[in-house]
Chains A and B, each alone.
Chain A
Amino acid sequence: MINSNTESIGWWGVALGIAAGAVRGGTPFLLVSLGECLTEKSGKINLGLEGTLLMGAMTAYAISYKAGNPWAGVAAAAGAGALLGAIHALLVSRPKVNDIAAGIAMLIFGSGVAFYFGKPFIQPSAPQLAPIALGSWSTSQPVQAALKISPLFFLGVSMALFLNWFFRSTRWGMRVRAVGDAPAAARAMGISVGRTRFFSIVAGSALAGIGGAHLSLFYPGAWTEAISSGQGLMAVALVIFARWNPIHCLYASLVFGGAQAVGPALQAIGISSGYYLWNASPYILTLLVMILTCSPKRTLIGAPGALGSGA
Chain B
Amino acid sequence: MDARHTEDASKALTVLAAASSPRDTAAPGWAWRTAMEAVAIPVGAVVVSLVLFGVFCATQGANPLAVFQAIYKAAFGSWYSFQNTLVRAAPLMLTALCTALPARLGLIVIGNEGALVIGGVSAVAAGLAVASAPPVVAMAAMALAGMIGGGLWIAAVGWLHYRRTVNETISSLLMNYIAIALLNHLVNGPMRDPSSLNKPSSFPIKEENMLPTLGSSNIHFGLIFGIIACLIVWILMEHTTFGFKARIIGGNIRAARMAGLSVATIGLVTCFLAGASAGLAGMVEVAAVHGRANESLAAGYGYAGILVAFVARHRGLPVILTAVLLGGILASGGILQRQFKLPDATILVFQGLVFLVILFSDSLYGKFKVFKGAQA
Contact = CB atoms under 8 A, between A and B. Distances in A.
B168 to A, nearest CB: 10
A287 B174 contact: yes
Given A109-B355, A116-B348, 19 more contacts: A94-B362, A96-B363, A98-B359, A101-B108, A102-B356, A104-B355, A108-B307, A113-B352, A115-B343, A116-B349, A119-B343, A233-B173, A240-B170, A273-B189, A277-B181, A280-B181, A286-B174, A287-B178, A291-B164
Counting contact residues on chain B (CB < 8 A from A), the size range is 35 or more
B42 to A, nearest CB: 14
B306 interface: yes
B359 A294 contact: no
Interface string B279-309: 0000000000000000000000001001100
A108 B345 contact: no
Contacts of A111: 348, 352
B184 A276 contact: yes
A296 B164 contact: yes
Contacts, number: 134
B295 to A, nearest CB: 11
- Chain A residues touching B, majority SS: helix
Contacts of A273: 189
B165 A108 contact: no
B346 A108 contact: no
Contacts of B303: 108
Interface in B162-207: 163-167, 169-171, 173-175, 177-178, 181-182, 184-185, 188-189
Interface in B138-178: 160, 163-167, 169-171, 173-175, 177-178
Interface in A264-311: 273-277, 279-280, 283-284, 286-287, 290-291, 294-296
A280 B174 CA distance: 9
B72 interface: no
Given A97-B363, A105-B359, A283-B178, A112 B166 contact: no
Interface of B: 108, 110, 160, 163-167, 169-171, 173-175, 177-178, 181-182, 184-185, 188-189, 303, 306-307, 310, 343-353, 355-356, 358-360, 362-363, 365
A108 B359 CA distance: 13
Given A108-B348, A116-B343, A274-B185, A91 B108 contact: no
A108 B164 contact: no
B351 A234 contact: no
A101 to B, nearest CB: 6
A291 B167 CA distance: 9
A237 B360 contact: no
A287 B20 CA distance: 36
Contacts of A295: 164-165
A236 B172 CA distance: 13
A275 B188 CA distance: 10
